[in-house]
Amino acid sequence: MTTAPETGTDAGLAPELADDLAAAALTLARRFSTGATLWCVAPAWEPHAQHVAVEFVHPVVVGARALPAVALTDRDPVATARLSVRPGDVVLAVADAADPYVREIARRAPAWGATTIWIGHGARPPAGSADHVLWHDDPDPAQPATGGFVLLYHLLWELTHVCFEHPGLLTTEGCTDEVCVTCSDEGRVVEVTDPGTGSTALVRTPDGEQEVVVDLVGRVRRDDLLLVHAGAALRVLSAEGTR
């Protein structure tokens, strides 16, 4: 395993960051084991996205698995991610908390059925912005070039392969109850693919396209995010919250 450099008087990663990193690696290993692709975005620091993808596709350790990973470096990574990401995939972003593209991808990921990992520094994104947040709290503008980010995704790569060495970690027990909180029809985020002209709209969900009733929210637009419960749209979610 890679040894983290000493920072100040402390060696290695902070305990909280180490725990977050281990949890992200386990999730990533589980997604890869079911056929996921890792989509990497870093709108302001594209070399990081390319570096992450190369780490997973071209492992430097003999015998390590090559894993599907792609760097998204288009001018509009949101539109490219919308076309590329499939249910079960993972989107890994390297960006600060204010990056508008990453914020938009992260809030749409639940509708796409994708897991999100966000690596960054400085001010943290709001709680719940991503499934896994791997963060350096140092606000120094030079942080992206110091190697801290590289250390994080190198460790993420190595820990993911450690998980592969323990197959029992890669499976999760399914729900056996007839009704449970996880499997019930809770409010969920979906993305409008066809607003239609009547009382229903076609939306994208992790389970595929579905038709939902939009009478309660009125006219919707393509790419709107809706909060849906029991087949009916309850709210239209704007970038700031609810419209």
Residues 128 and 197 in one domain: no
Same domain, 137 and 218: no
38 closest CA partner among 79, 86, 98, 103: 86
Strand partners, 134: 119
pTM, entire model: 0.86
Give the model confidence (pLDDT) of 129-182 as tens digits.
Answer: 999 999 999 889 889 999 999 999 999 999 999 999 998 889 865 544 444 444
- End position of a domain, from candidates 141, 170, 199: 170
Report the C-alpha gap between 207 and 42 in whole angstroms: 28
Query: Whole-angstrom Cα distance, residue 65 to residue 75?
Result: 31
Sign of torsion over alpha carbons 85, 89, 94, 97: positive
Both 158 and 217 in a single domain? Answer: no
Check whether residue 158 and residue 215 sit in a common domain. no
User: Could you list the residue range(s) of the whole structural domain that residue 71 is in?
Assistant: 6-170
Please check whether residue 31 lies inside any domain of the structure: yes
- Write the pLDDT tens digit of every residue in 45-97: 999 999 999 999 998 777 888 999 999 999 999 999 999 999 999 999 999 99
Q: Is 231 among the domain residues?
A: yes
- Structural domain total, the chain: 2
- Are residues 14 and 93 located together in one domain of the fold? yes
Residue 48 lies in a domain: yes
110 and 200, same structural domain?
no
Asked if residue 56 belongs to a domain, the reply is yes
Backbone conformation region of residue 35, classed left if phi is above 0, alpha if psi is from -120 to 50, else beta: left
Does some domain include residue 214? yes
Sign of the C-alpha dihedral computed for residues 87, 100, 242 and 238 taken in this order: negative
Together in a domain, 155 and 199: no
Let me know whether 56 and 150 are in one domain.
yes
